[in-house]
Amino acid sequence: MLAIGAAAVLAAVPARADLPLWEAGLGAGVLRLPHYRGSDQSHTWLLPVPYFVYRGEILRADREGARARLVDGERLDVDVSVAATAPTRSRDNRARAGMPDLAPTVELGPNVNWTLARGAQWKLQARLPVRTAFTVESGPDAIGWVASPNLNLDWRHAGWNLGVLAGPVFGSRRFNAYYYDVAPAYASATRPAYRAPAGTAGWRAVFGASRRTGPVWLGAFMAADSLRGARFAASPLVRQRDTHAFGVAVSWVFAESSQRVAREE
């Protein structure tokens, strides 16, 4: 679900120095996502896609994501990382039949970015986001933390904004348990009880592309997740070690501020 946030904010920056403080639009997108990492079933979502760019001194939402810049240096900066996951109804998932549903979640935490190298049209960073996860329901519950250190490359080419990131994923015992535990009450002949440990949760790679042409914004992503080497790979809820997701979106930009700001290089 990282891609939903990416689709909303991977906005192409026009090649001019005088930019509006904010821009807004709305469109639609199609996402194909696995029920959860390691599931052998997927779901297609047709969703509205908000387009919003904000170029403030501290709060920003642009092609690098939505964030609050807490520390801003020449090579090191610290901002806020946000992610989300979709719900899964157990009645729609063979592996989880009879188990509690998976509520949608929101993840929030600090993100440290170190710029390793950069050029006029590209930037390579090492990133370390560490987020606490919460369920989104009538009684929200904290379900532990997740960390996904990665290398991230952004570059511009022929009017396109392109990005690729890859790295391992780590989860706390409680976070891994939310998705991969099988309590004794839900065990069966084909689904033995299981207690997921903390630790490595495989790896993830994401590729994204976006382009702004006049008032029209286009975006797309592809993501690959692997649970090979994950501490909980033996869980009976892991039906597939490698999963994929993809999505496309288009938005119409219909409003912008009269206040202008300088382009940030």
Q: What is the CATH number of the domain that holds 234?
A: 2.40.230
What pLDDT, on the 0 to 100 scale, is given for residue 22?
A: 86
Query: How many domains are contained in the chain?
Result: 1
CA distance 148 to 181: 21
What pLDDT, on the 0 to 100 scale, is given for residue 264?
A: 57
Please give the average per-residue pLDDT across 14-36, as a whole number: 83
Whole-structure pTM value: 0.84
Joined together, the tokens standing for residue 96 give: 């989880």
pLDDT digits (tens, 9 = 90+) for 106-134: 999 999 999 999 999 999 999 999 999 99
Q: Which position has the higher pLDDT, 26 or 74? A: 26
pLDDT digits (tens, 9 = 90+) for 72-92: 567 898 888 888 898 999 999
What pLDDT, on the 0 to 100 scale, is given for residue 39?
A: 97
Q: Is the pLDDT of residue 2 over 90?
A: no
What pLDDT, on the 0 to 100 scale, is given for residue 128?
A: 96
Expressed as residue numbers, the domain containing 248 is 2-262
Please, is 128 exposed, middle or buried when counting C-beta atoms within 10 Å of its C-beta (0-12, 13-18, 19+)?
A: middle
